[in-house]
């Protein structure tokens, strides 16, 4: 069904109070909250190649009014983020309606709307001393010895300007108290960032959380290949627990605090 | 509930990064980088990411204050501007125009900065003018 028509129906039938999509303003494709009062605005609804964390915006709205019914234009990554936010009780699935965007082309549909359809290009210096954006964690582990891997990651990490953009843009970063702001772990107001601990704190917290949307890497002014780092930690989680974050609405193996642990122990030497 | 996004330019330094304010019910709630902006291309520094904080700060000055008997008191714009003009004139007459210096800010517009240096050079009569974003 036509996207605009479907979104209009959601609003007019009162199935949602607000619909989060994109529109064009001053030449920029930016997110917008469409409402029933100005339903005609939906004619300007766009899918937009610029992805913004609409799920994070939905969380902001839900925090202000937990009963608000929210419609979201959802790519595959948004759907994964929503699944994860449901399992961590940040959003109520009963209050969320999604309109799915065809973002990944396949044999059935050749058209796709995603800024990631073209692989990122890695410069020669980065290839020689740092990490290729398009490398897979497993290949990277196989091709380089531990000393080389450390020096390559350190090359990437030491460029960090500690902007906290990776955390700020992340759709699944919702903690009220963030370890990256804990003065005992990360000294406030000190530059350069303490490497590699700053990035490893975030990496451990992304284990079982990261839904691989790539917004952090997009927002990183230092071009650190964060997506690959979090893929690496997530591989460990899926190998040990068989859990892929955001794949289904299922409890994360890490949401066990204060309850009885029912997990079968598994070896850590993956 | 109302939720809209307003593109703007970061006011912290002279680089001019594009930002996007998340406005919920008329109050700025979050700052995001403007992905299609040619200057910052969807990236921001820590100051840009927290741009909404000073807008909502309770310490933000919302009207003119005049120091009377050592205490800052609320005043009208006319009172404040007249008092400033009177005292600057006196300082200039007593100590010369070079006894006054003007520091302008990236938080005001290019045009306002131009006017400030014009005031400094043409009205006060000194070249002591500088800018916080002279990186």
DSSP string, A129-159: HS--TT--HHHHHHHS-HHHHHHHHHHHHTT
Which of these, A191, A217, A192, lies nearest to A202 by C-alpha position?
A217
Structural domain boundaries enclosing A27: 3-100
Comparing A104-118, A162-176, A225-239, B4-18, the range with the smallest average pLDDT is A104-118
Residue of A20, A28, A64 with shortest CB distance to B34? A28
Condensed to tens digits (0 to 9), the pLDDT of residues B57-104 reads 888 888 999 998 999 999 999 999 999 999 999 999 999 999 999 999
Q: Is residue A109 part of a domain?
A: no
Count of domains in chain A? 2
Mean pLDDT of A19-38: 94
Tens digits of residue pLDDT in A188-203: 988 888 989 999 999 9
Query: Terminal CA-to-CA distance of chain A, rounded, Å?
Result: 46
| ipTM (interface pTM) | 0.86
User: Which two three-digit tokens encode residue A85?
Assistant: 């936010």
A36 lies in some domain: yes
Do B46 and A220 make contact, defined as CB atoms within 8 angstroms?
no
Rounded Cα gap, residues A242 and A270, in angstroms: 13
- The pLDDT value recorded for residue A269 is 63
Pairing of β B65-68 and β B71-74: antiparallel
Dist CA A187 CA A189 (whole Å) = 7
Q: Is residue A185 part of a domain?
A: yes
Question: Does residue A1 surpass a pLDDT of 60?
Answer: no
Do A79 and A159 share a domain, yes or no?
Answer: no
Six-digit token string for A11? 């609003």
Token pair recorded at residue B35: 């992905």
Which pLDDT value is given to residue A205?
A: 92
* Residues A95 and A166 occupy one common structural domain: no
Question: What is the average per-residue pLDDT within A17-42?
Answer: 94
What is the reported pLDDT for B106? 78
Q: Of A3-12, A112-121, B106-115, B124-133, where does mean pLDDT reach its minimum?
A: A112-121
Q: Which of residues 4-63 of B touch A (CB under 8 A)?
A: 4-5, 7, 18, 20, 22, 24-25, 29-30, 32-37, 40, 42-46, 48-49
Chain A interface, Cβ < 8 Å to B = 17-18, 20, 25-33, 35, 50-53, 57, 60-61, 64-65, 68, 161-165, 168-169, 218-221
Of A45, A66, A100, the residue that ends a domain is A100
State pLDDT tens for residues A69-101.
999 999 888 999 999 999 998 999 999 999 998
Contact A17 B29 (CB under 8 A): no
> Looking at residues B127-135, what average pLDDT do you find?
82
Show Cβ contacts of residue A245 under 8 Å, excluding neighbours closer than 6 positions.
A80, A84, A172, A208, A209, A210, A211, A234, A237, A252
Is A128 found in the same domain as A84?
Answer: no
Query: Residue written as tokens 């759709």?
Result: A171
In this structure, the answer to whether residues A85 and A144 fall within a common structural domain is no
Give the residue from B18, B6, B23, B5 showing the smallest Cα distance to B48. Answer: B18
Provide CATH code, domain B3-55: 2.20.25.90
Determine the Cα angle at A65 with ends A179 and B53, to 5°.
50
Greater model confidence, A41 or A269: A41
Domain ranges for chain B? 3-55, 61-95, 97-135
Instruction: Kindly determine whether residue A219 and residue B45, on different chains, have CB atoms separated by under 8 Å.
Output: no
């Amino acid at each position: 069904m036509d996207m605009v028509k479907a979104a209009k129906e959601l609003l007019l039938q009162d199935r949602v109070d607000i619909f989060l999509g994109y529109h064009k303003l001053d030449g920029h494709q930016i997110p917008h909250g469409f409402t029933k009062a100005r339903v005609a605005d939906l004619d300007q609804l766009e899918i937009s190649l610029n992805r913004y964390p609409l799920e994070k915006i939905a969380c902001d709205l839900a925090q202000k009014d937990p009963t608000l019914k929210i419609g979201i234009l959802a790519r595959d990554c948004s759907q994964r983020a929503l699944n994860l936010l449901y399992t961590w009780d940040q959003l109520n699935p009963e209050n969320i309606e999604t309109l799915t965007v065809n973002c990944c082309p396949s044999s059935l549909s050749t058209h796709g709307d995603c800024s990631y359809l073209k692989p990122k290009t890695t410069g020669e210096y980065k290839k020689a001393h740092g990490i290729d954006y398009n490398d897979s964690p497993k290949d990277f582990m196989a091709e380089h010895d531990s000393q080389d891997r450390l020096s390559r990651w350190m090359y990437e990490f030491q460029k960090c300007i500690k902007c906290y953009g990776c955390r700020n843009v992340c759709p699944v970063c919702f903690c009220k108290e963030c370890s990256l702001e804990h003065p005992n772990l990360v000294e406030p107001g000190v530059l350069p960032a303490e490497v590699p601990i700053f990035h490893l704190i975030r990496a451990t917290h992304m284990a079982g959380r990261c839904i691989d949307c790539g917004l952090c890497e997009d927002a990183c002014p230092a071009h650190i290949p964060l997506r690959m780092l979090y893929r690496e930690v997530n591989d460990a989680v899926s190998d040990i627990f068989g859990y892929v974050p955001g794949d289904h609405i299922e409890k994360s193996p890490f949401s066990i605090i204060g309850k009885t642990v029912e997990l079968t122990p598994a070896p850590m030497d993956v | 509930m109302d939720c809209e996004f307003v593109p703007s330019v970061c006011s912290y330094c002279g680089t001019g990064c594009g930002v996007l304010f998340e406005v919920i019910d008329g109050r700025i709630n979050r700052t995001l980088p403007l992905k299609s902006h040619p200057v910052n291309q969807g990236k921001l520094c820590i100051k840009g990411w927290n741009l909404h904080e000073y807008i909502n700060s309770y310490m933000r000055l919302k009207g003119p204050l005049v120091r009377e008997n050592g205490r800052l008191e609320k005043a009208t714009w006319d009172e404040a501007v007249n008092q400033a003009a009177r005292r600057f004139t006196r300082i200039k007459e007593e100590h010369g125009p070079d006894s006054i210096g003007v520091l302008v800010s990236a938080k005001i517009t290019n045009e306002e900065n131009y006017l400030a240096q014009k005031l400094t050079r043409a009205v006060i009569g000194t070249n002591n003018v500088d800018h916080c974003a002279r990186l």
